[in-house]
Structure 1
């Protein structure tokens, strides 16, 4: 087979390498072309060297090109994969820092909550630019695979306004299933059968079977509480499991910021989180992790290049959806996964226009969703709160309506639990002004926002959050890695 895959935001070195090697695990795909594009020429050259090394070491005919000209990369592409972060870590730092001034303590801030909503405002205009290029220069009928957060908002915009065949992809379901398999004592995650349904980062294991035996709430609660690690790292998720009756796919830290109950009182936040790793609830945890990872790639590049010389091992193909979807579409080998698509009745008790995450099967005919799923009422209620925020956020991002943007933030569950309307209005003004260079749709609203900020009487505070850790240096990371290796 010969076709072209374009990867936008390919400067995300580790993730691009994983996607690349996964796709080349499919024997029929050895003769395809990968077109890498990114705003950073430096990052592009780093990842191209790595991928060229993989190609030459494995004696493959695969073609790899790299360009900062996105339209050139998309020309003739059958599949387009996006893993962009508009504004980079500079804008992301404001997504965490500014809400903290108003008492909003986020772990990740890339899905909803104040940070995730502003992230969507930066991403959506760019996503729509991608879609315009896809319509105009990609292969007719090209499929857009979006890995970028905020997943639901980006996918919603691409489908409703971009008019491109789009699917959103995330690995939260797989990671949750691996946890469940472990606590239940399975020898392999393959022993676990499950149906997950909901919305991205709020998907719920509504049906579980281990080797054909149905697993109920009480057994699952007991298994998690008995696990020596997860019982400490997933305290909030376990509490939600006890109350809702089903386990959430999303990490302890992520889930904590989508709900109005666990992060609203600073003195209680540490009760529900675990500081052994960022993903369990640390304040600004993913920002710290992303900063350290970026620094690590910069200094450890020679080691990454050396590792690229190893042969591709199909047995180590990851469970990221992209390669499996492409394989099913091109070869007809059926793949079952959980995908982010427009609802249209797939989940009976969520709105038709919402972007849901639910099971589907892929073959030559496309992605075919399992329809008629009804999720538990408590799960639907929690999802609905986020969907309403996502809908307003998408429409605000497209229209540049700052008043609608403020209403979206006001209706966010955690923001609403912590902040007053006056605080929300000022916070949004402050975030829009701080990030104006990435928010072209709000250019006309910025001057008035600056005037309001100059006259504001709403008090803020400089606060690091309830559970903040400092960014580690490269030397500290090396020392910790060496200590772990020695311990093993």
Structure 2
């Protein structure tokens, strides 16, 4: 087989390498072309060097090109994969730090909440540019695979306004299933049969079977509480499981910022999170992790390049959806997964226009969703709160309506639990002004926002958050890695 895959945001080096090696685990794909594109020429050259080394070491005919010209990369592509972060870590820091001034403590801030909504405002105009290029330049019928957050908003915009065949992909379901299999004592993940449904990062394990035996709430709660690690790291998820009756796919830290009950009081936050790793609820945890990872890669690049000499091992193919979807579409080998698509009645008790995450099967005929799923009422209510925010956020991003943007932020569950309307209005003004270079649709609103900020009487505070860790230096990271290696 010979076709072209364009990867936008390929400078996300580790993730691009994973997608690349996964796809080349499919024997029929050895003759394909990967077209890498990114704004950073530096990052592009690093990832191209790594992928070229993989191709050379495995004696493959695979073609790898790299260009900062996105349209050149997309031209003739059958599949376009996006893993972009518009504004990079600089804008992301604003997503975390500015809301803290108004008492909003986020762990990740890239899906909803104040940070996720502004992230969507930056991403959506760019996503629509991608869609325009795909319509004009890609192979007819090309498929757009979006890995970038905010997942639901990006996918919503690409489908509704970009008019491109789009699917959103995330790995939260797989990671949650791995946890459940472990606490239940499964010998392998294949023993666990599960159905997850909801919206991205608020997807729920609505049906669980271990070797054909149905697993109920009480058994699952007992299994998690008996686990020496997860009982400490996933306290909030276990509490939600007890109250809702089903386990959430999303990490303790992510889930904590999507619900209005666990992060609204600083003194309560530490009761529900765990500081052993960023993903369990640390203030600005993913920002810290992303900063450290970038610094680490820059310093350790020779080691990453050397590791690329290892042969590709199909047994180590990851559970990221992309390679399996492409394999199913191209070969007809059926793949079952959980995908982000427009609802259109798939989940009976969520709106038809929402982007849902639910089970589907892929073969030569495309992605075929399992329809007629009804999720528990409490899960639907929680999803609806986010869907309403997502809908307003997408429409604000497309129209540049700053008043609608403020209303979207005001209706976010955590923001609404912490901040007053006056604080939200000022916070959005401050974020739009700080990020103006990435928000062209709000250029007309920036002068008035600046004037309001100059005359505002709303008080803010300098606050690092309830559970903050400092960014570690390369030397500290190296020492910790050496200590862990020695301990093993």
If the length of structure 2 is used for normalisation, what is the TM-score? Answer: 1.00
Matched, 1:440 2:440: yes
Question: Structure 2: how far apart are the matches of 1:236 and 1:190?
Answer: 27
Q: Distance in 2 between matches of 1:478 and 1:215?
A: 42
> What's the CA shift for 1:28?
0.0
Give, in whole Å, the separation in 1 of the partners of 2:264 and 2:56: 53
Deviation at 1:214, TM superposition (A): 0.2
List, as ranges, runs of 4+ consecutive aligned residues in structure 1 with deviation greater than 4 Å: none
Q: Deviations over 1:402-443 (max 9, x none)?
A: 000000000000000000000000000000000000000000
1: CA distance, partners of 2:57 / 2:219: 48
* Alpha-carbon distance in structure 2 between the residues aligned to 1:38 and 1:441: 22
**Deviations 1:216-275 (CA, angstroms, capped at 9, x unpaired):** 000000000000000000000000000000000000000000000000000110000000
Q: Write the distance in 2 (CA, Å) between the matches of 1:234 and 1:379.
A: 18
- Could you list the runs of 5+ residues in structure 1 that have no partner in the other structure? none
CA distance in 2, matches of 1:64, 1:297: 21
* 1:189 shift after superposition: 1.1
Instruction: Give the match's secondary structure for 2:345.
Output: coil
Which whole-Å CA distance do the structure 2 matches of 1:412 and 1:373 have between them? 26
Structure 1: distance between partners of 2:183 and 2:462: 41
Q: Secondary structure at 1:444's aligned position in 2?
A: helix
- Deviation (angstroms), 1:145: 0.1
Q: Distance in 2 between matches of 1:31 and 1:13?
A: 22
In 2, Cα distance between equivalents of 1:25 and 1:62: 12
- Paired with 1:311 and 1:412, the residues of 2 have a C-alpha distance of 47
Distance 1:312 1:96 in 2: 38
TM superposition shift of 1:195: 0.1
1:309-388 to 2 correspondences below 5 Å: 309-388=309-388
Instruction: Give me the whole-angstrom Cα distance separating, in 1, the residues matched to 2:462 and 2:443.
Output: 27
Q: Deviations over 1:329-356 (max 9, x none)?
A: 0000000000000000000000000000
Provide Cα deviations, 1:366-410, integer angstroms capped at 9, x if missing partner: 000000000000000000000000000000000000000000000
Mapped partners of 2:248, 2:14: distance in 1 = 27
- What's the CA shift for 1:464? 0.1
Quote the Cα distance in structure 2 between the aligned partners of 1:21 and 1:391: 36
Separation in structure 2 between the aligned mates of residue 85 and residue 433 of structure 1, nearest angstrom:
19
Aligned-residue offset at 1:56:
0.3
Q: What is the rounded CA distance, in whole Å, between the counterparts of 1:480 and 1:371 in structure 2?
A: 48
User: What are the Cα deviations for residues 80-119 of structure 1, in whole angstroms up to 9, with x where unaligned?
Assistant: 0000000000000000000000000000000000000000
Tell me, what secondary structure is at the counterpart of 1:359? strand
How far is the alpha carbon of 1:162 from its aligned partner? 0.1
> Separation in 2 of the partners of 1:84 and 1:12?
8
1:182-238 Cα deviation digits (max 9, x unpaired): 000001111100000000000000000000000000000000000000000000000
Task: Using the TM superposition, give the Cα deviation of residue 454 of structure 1 relative to its aligned residue in structure 2, in angstroms.
Answer: 0.3
| Distance in 1 between residues matched to 2:252 and 2:269, nearest whole Å | 12
CA distance in 1, matches of 2:387, 2:366: 26
Please give the alpha-carbon distance, in whole angstroms, between the structure 1 residues aligned to 2:376 and 2:452: 44
| In structure 1, C-alpha distance between the alignment counterparts of 2:428 and 2:75, rounded to whole Å | 38
Cα-to-partner distance string for 1:426-478 (whole Å, 9 max, x where unaligned): 00000000000000000000000000000000000010000000000000000
SS at match of 2:258: coil
Take 2:165 and 2:51, find their aligned partners in 1: how far apart are those partners?
A: 28
In 2, distance between residues paired with 1:297 and 1:39?
18
TM-score, structure 1 as length reference: 1.00
Q: CA RMSD in A?
A: 0.2
The CA deviation at 1:23 is 0.1
Question: How far did 1:21 drift?
Answer: 0.1
Taking the aligned partners of 1:473 and 1:186, their CA distance within structure 2 comes to: 39
Is the partner of 2:290 in helix, strand or coil?
helix
- Cα distance between partner residues in 2 of 1:189 and 1:313: 19
Aligned to 1:79: 79
